[in-house]
Amino acid sequence: MTEKVAVVTGANKGLGFAIVKGLCRRFNGIVYLTSRDETRGLHAIKKLNGMGIKPNFHVLDVTDKQSVTDFARFLKERHGGFDVLVNNAAILEWDQVYPSFEAAKRNIDTNYRSLLTIEEVLYPLLRDGARVVNVSSACGHLSNLRNRRWLNILTSKDLTTEDINNFVDEYLENVKNGTVDNNDFADGGKHSEHRVSKIALTALTMVQQKKYEKRNISINAVYPGHIKTDMAQGGGQLDPDEAADTVLYLILDASPKIRGTFMWDNRKLVDWYDVEGDYYYRHQC
Q: Where are the domains of the chain?
A: 4-270
Closest to 222 in 3D by CA, of 238, 190, 53: 238
Residue 283: its pLDDT value, please? 79
Task: Show the 3-state SS of 133-188.
Answer: EEECCHHHCHHHECCHHHHHHHCCCCCCHHHHHHHHHHHHHHHHHCCCCHHHECHH
Residue with the larger pLDDT of the pair 282 and 222: 222
Look up the pTM and report it.
0.96
Residue 182 scores a pLDDT above 50? yes
Residue 102: its pLDDT value, please? 98
State the angle between helix axes of 192-212 and 114-121 in degrees (0 to 180), rounded to the nearest 10. Answer: 20
pLDDT digits (tens, 9 = 90+) for 35-49: 999 999 999 999 999
Residue 262: its pLDDT value, please? 98
How many Å apart are CA 246 and CA 101, to the nearest integer? 33
Tell me the CA end-to-end span of the chain in Å, nearest whole number.
Answer: 53
Residue 2: its pLDDT value, please? 84
Residue 230: its pLDDT value, please? 58
Instruction: Return phi, psi of residue 181, to 5°.
Output: -100, 110
Residue with the larger pLDDT of the pair 285 and 103: 103
- Say if residues 263 and 221 touch (Cβ distance below 8 Å): yes
The arithmetic mean of pLDDT across residues 63-79, rounded, is: 98
Per-residue pLDDT band at 80 (split at 50, 70, 90): very high
How many Å apart are CA 242 and CA 244, to the nearest integer? 5
By percentage, how much of the chain surpasses pLDDT 70? 96
pLDDT digits (tens, 9 = 90+) for 162-178: 999 999 999 999 999 99
Residue 236: its pLDDT value, please? 65
Give the distance, in angstroms, between the CA of residue 12 and the centroid of all CA atoms in the same chain.
Answer: 15
- Say if residues 260 and 219 touch (Cβ distance below 8 Å): yes
Amino acid at 253: D
| Mean model confidence pLDDT for the chain | 95
Per-residue pLDDT band at 56 (split at 50, 70, 90): very high
- Say if residues 59 and 41 touch (Cβ distance below 8 Å): yes
Residue 235: its pLDDT value, please? 55
CATH dotted code for 4-270:
3.40.50.720
- Say if residues 269 and 262 touch (Cβ distance below 8 Å): yes
Beta strand 82-87 with 56-59 is unpaired
The strands making up 269-270's β-sheet, listed across from edge to edge, are 56-59, 29-35, 4-8, 82-87, 126-135, 218-222, 262-263, 269-270
What is the C-alpha R_g of the chain?
18
- Say if residues 28 and 3 touch (Cβ distance below 8 Å): no
How many Å apart are CA 251 and CA 210, to the nearest integer? 19
Residue 232 scores a pLDDT above 50? no
Residue 29 scores a pLDDT above 90? yes
How many Å apart are CA 134 and CA 67, to the nearest integer? 19
Residue 234 scores a pLDDT above 60? no
The arithmetic mean of pLDDT across residues 76-94, rounded, is: 97
